[in-house]
Each structure stands twice: as structure tokens, then as C-alpha cells.
Structure 1
Amino acid sequence: MRLRDVRRRTALTATVAVLAAAGTTAAVAAPATSAPPRFLAPGELPPHASSPWYASKVTPGLPDPAQFCLDGGAVPAGDGTYHRSYWTEYDTNAGQVTVVTADDDSARRLAAKLRRQVARCAGDWLHDKPGGTASWKDYGTVSAADGGRVYGVHTSMPESEPGIHLFGVGRSGRTVTVVRWGEMGTFAQAPVPAFKTTLRQALNKL
């Protein structure tokens, strides 16, 4: 091979290496541009008889204070976690927390963990408030995305108004969401069919 051809090939190889390195650097340095997942609109919550629903902005991280039954580090607080709060002109309120995980397996494990957290919430509450009463119900599944499940938790203290909460835990791919609804009352006041529709809408938006 002539010396001129060797120099030409060497120069070409160096040029290709530089271009490849530049492309690799650009790919690594490109900032993440993923938008937050879509959240429920106020009108998608179970209707209140005397008030419209209002909502905060979708906010990164966890709500402060933590939502009932979802405290104690049950929900990861890092990047990929978002929340939104909802309220009415009366005591009824709600919240949604959504976590975008690394992959489907991570999301599946997190959803299972959150279902266990809600299912044992009544017992944990009684442990901290032995003078009260608490119970829970499993209202079954919701068919949307990769599936959801609805639970009810009732708590009561002597000489105090009882509280009823509904929780929906579900997943779509690598994204997990938890929807909570609560007000003063008992299981009889829980709008279970409407809340299942709410969870279905939340999952379809992920």
C-alpha cells in the first residue's frame, strides 16, 4: 500500500471516530424532556351533591403532609413522582399521586406494595389509636390499562365524626397511580361505583 493511501485511510478513520464520539456525547448529554403524566380533571371525581370540585396544579414530588394510608415512605419521593390535590367547599377531598418507574417490573412491584399498604391501613391506624375503631373493604378490580383495584377504609374515634376513604391503585406500563377520596361518614356514604369510574379514567390517562 502506498504511503499516501495509508495517510488517507488513517485520516478517514480518525474522522469517523471523532464523529462517532460526538454523536455519543450528544446522546448522553441530551436532557430528559418527558412531561408529567396526565392527571384527573376535577370533574372526573365522584360528583358532590352541593359543591363543584377544585384542584391544585400537578406538582413534582409527594404532597405535604402525606395522604392518609400512604405515609411512611410507601410512595417513592424522587424524580418521576407527581401529585395533585382536590377539594370541595365542604369536607370532601381527594388526591392523586402518580409515579413513573424505571420499567414495567418496577411498576408491578410498586403497585403490589401500595395495595398491601392500603389493605393493612385500618390495622395500622388502630395500632396508633387503640381507643378507636377501623375496618376496610376490598371493592374489587377495575378493568383499564394494566388493571386497578379499589379499597375502602373506615375510621372512627369516640366523640368524633367517623371518616370514610376510598383508594384506587392501578398501573399502566411503567406508571403507577393512587387515587384517594375521603369525607366524614361511613361505608354507606362511599360512592363506590362512581369512584371506580374515576379510577378507570385515571388509568386511561396514564
Structure 2
Amino acid sequence: MTTFRSVLAVTAALGAALAAAVPSQAATGPAFLSAAQMPASSTPWTATRVFTGVPENGGALCAPYKIPAQNTRYREFATELDTNGVQITTVARTEADAVKLVDTLRKSLAGCGPLLERQNPGLHAVSRSHGKVSVEEGAWVYSLDTAEPQIGITDIHLFSVGRDGRTVTFVRWGQMGDLKDAPLAAFRTTTKTAVNKLW
């Protein structure tokens, strides 16, 4: 039986495999979060190198294929306890293009829950907005709470999208559990750090 969670696991594995197969790393460009700058976990975070393009699954749960591969790089994060994350950063052609991409990503994140319920019968999915983070041109935080009652699986994801001039960064954090289990305050700090580090 294919479940929402199993789809996430497969796409994450494909992304990791692609990362391992691509030995390139841009020498210059926006800086990325380190493993230590992800929200604290009971086991240490590890981080991949920074790779060019977007992960295999389009890079952004709730906004797949919205982020262009051109002028884009990403880094994936994981712990030993099934907690994972990704940061994707892209430099748009113009600042107006960057503003448009942020708006597109925000709309996708805000409407993700209802979309996933339509695509996955039996899945309960709730998206919430957690407001703006004051940093550079701004960053916005969202959550996605999913449950598959038939098999008793719940997952929680936190997302943020922020901008510094022409540069847009997207951060995702996820693990098993509910919103009450999520480090929302720490994720807001991670988001602020991610945008501040871009340049």
C-alpha cells in the first residue's frame, strides 16, 4: 500500500542519491545553513555538501517544481531519528522575479493541506501560517500537519521562504509527530539565520 509518508521517503532517497552522484559544488554564491544551525534535535544533524540545481523531487514539498533549477543550489539535512530538512536557494534574474517567486511559494505553502487531501484520499492535512520573520526583505513561516488515520501515521513539516534582494531561500524541516512536537520558535531562528547568511 502506497502511503503519503512512503512517497516522501522515496523522494528523499532519490534526492540523496542524486546528490551523491553529482560531484559539483559552486565555488561562490549565497551561503547556506550549517548542520548546527538547524533546530536542536536529540541526535546531531548532518548536512550534505551544497549541490547545484534542485533535489530530485522538485525540491519543495507543497511547492514541487516551483523553484527553477537554473541559478539554484541546495543542501539536505538529516538526523538519526527520522528528522530531515532541506535548504534551496535561487538567484532570480531580477528583483521583481524574486518577489514573484516568493509570492508563488507562499501561496503554495498556504494551500498545501487542501491540495494534498484532494490528491491523497483518506489523508488529513492542515496548513497553517505562522507569520513573518523580520529579516532583510522578509521571510514567512508555515506548517503542514498530516495524518493517515488508517495506519496511524502523523507527520509535521515546517517551511519558510525568505528573500534578500534577488536571492530567495526555501527551508523545510520535518519529522514524525504533530505541530505541538515541532520546534517552531527555533525554526524561526533558523529561518532568520538562513536569510542573513545569504550574502
User: Which interval holds the TM-score relative to the shorter structure?
Assistant: 0.7 to 0.9
Q: Which residue of 2 aligns with 1:23?
A: none
- Residues 1-206 of structure 1 correspond to what in structure 2 (within 5 A)? 35-49=28-42, 51-66=43-58, 67-71=60-64, 73-78=65-70, 80-157=71-148, 158-206=150-198
Offset of 1:205 from its aligned partner? 0.8
SS of residue in 1 equivalent to 2:153: coil
Q: Deviations over 1:92-111 (max 9, x none)?
A: 00000111011211111101
Provide the aligned length of Structure 1 versus Structure 2: 171
What does the per-residue CA deviation read over 1:142-189, in whole Å, with 9 as the maximum and x for residues that have no partner?
011110000000111121310100001110000000000000001101
CA distance in 1, matches of 2:182, 2:157: 8
| Shift of residue 137, structure 1, vs aligned partner | 1.2
> Deviations for 1:3-33, whole angstroms, at most 9, x for unmatched residues?
xxxxxxxxxxxxxxxxxxxxxxxxxxxxxx9
Q: Which runs of 5+ in 1 are unaligned?
A: 1-32
Higher gyration radius (CA): 1
Tell me, yes or no, if the aligned pair for 1:118 and 1:151 is still in contact at 8 Å. yes
Q: Answer whether contact 1:61 1:82 (CA < 8 A) is retained.
A: yes
1:32-68 C-alpha deviation (Å, 9 max, x unpaired): x98221000000010002x100000100000113342
Instruction: Give the C-alpha shift of residue 197 in structure 1.
Output: 0.1
Partner of 1:17: none
Letter matched to residue 48 of structure 1: S
Letter paired with 1:56: T
Distance 1:86 1:102 in 2: 28
Q: Which 5+ residue runs of structure 2 have no aligned equivalent?
A: 1-25
Calculate percent identity across the aligned residue pairs: 39
Is the Cα–Cα contact under 8 Å of residues 42 and 86 in structure 1 kept in the other structure? Answer: yes
Contact 1:36 1:82 in 2 (8 A): no
Query: Hey, what's the Cα distance between the residues in 1 that align with 2:55 and 2:63?
Result: 10
Please report the TM-score for the alignment, with normalisation by the length of structure 2.
Answer: 0.83
Tell me the distance in 2 between the aligned counterparts of 1:96 and 1:194: 16
Counterpart Cα distance in 1 of 2:121 and 2:167 = 36
1:25 maps to which residue?
A: none
| Partner Cα distance (1:130, 1:81) in 2 | 33
RMSD: 1.3
Question: Cα offset for 1:121?
Answer: 1.1
